[in-house]
Amino acid sequence: MFGVGVAGGTAAALTPVVTADEDGVQAPAQRLRNTFDEMYRGRRIHGGSTAEYTEISVDGRPLHVMRRADGSYLSMVDHYRSYPTPLAAARGAVDELGGAQLSPASMQQL
């Protein structure tokens, strides 16, 4: 019984604290800064970032981006090119997608 309690407590401690924004998107409890919401080539790009977290969606579907060690960003759509900001990475992903849509599943659900 002790092992179950320890495992459950550890899982609870490691689970990030999240809140939902006005769009119902899960985000860390920290408020996103550097937010953007724009139409680019007919696609809605929405997102923002904190020092540790970046959240972007294209037409309401999550776009996974990563921050590189040099401070630039790359996306799963266009992962061979670096961009100076999350917005630039989202625009690059839209350019690469053309008329295609992102998968509706987020990376956390895989």
Q: Output the six-digit token pair for 89.
A: 């990475």
pLDDT (0 to 100) of residue 73: 92
CB 32 within 8 Å of CB 39? no
Question: What pTM value is reported for the model?
Answer: 0.66
Q: For the chain of 110 residues, list the mean pLDDT of each consecutive stretch of 10.
A: 49 45 52 85 91 88 92 88 93 89 61
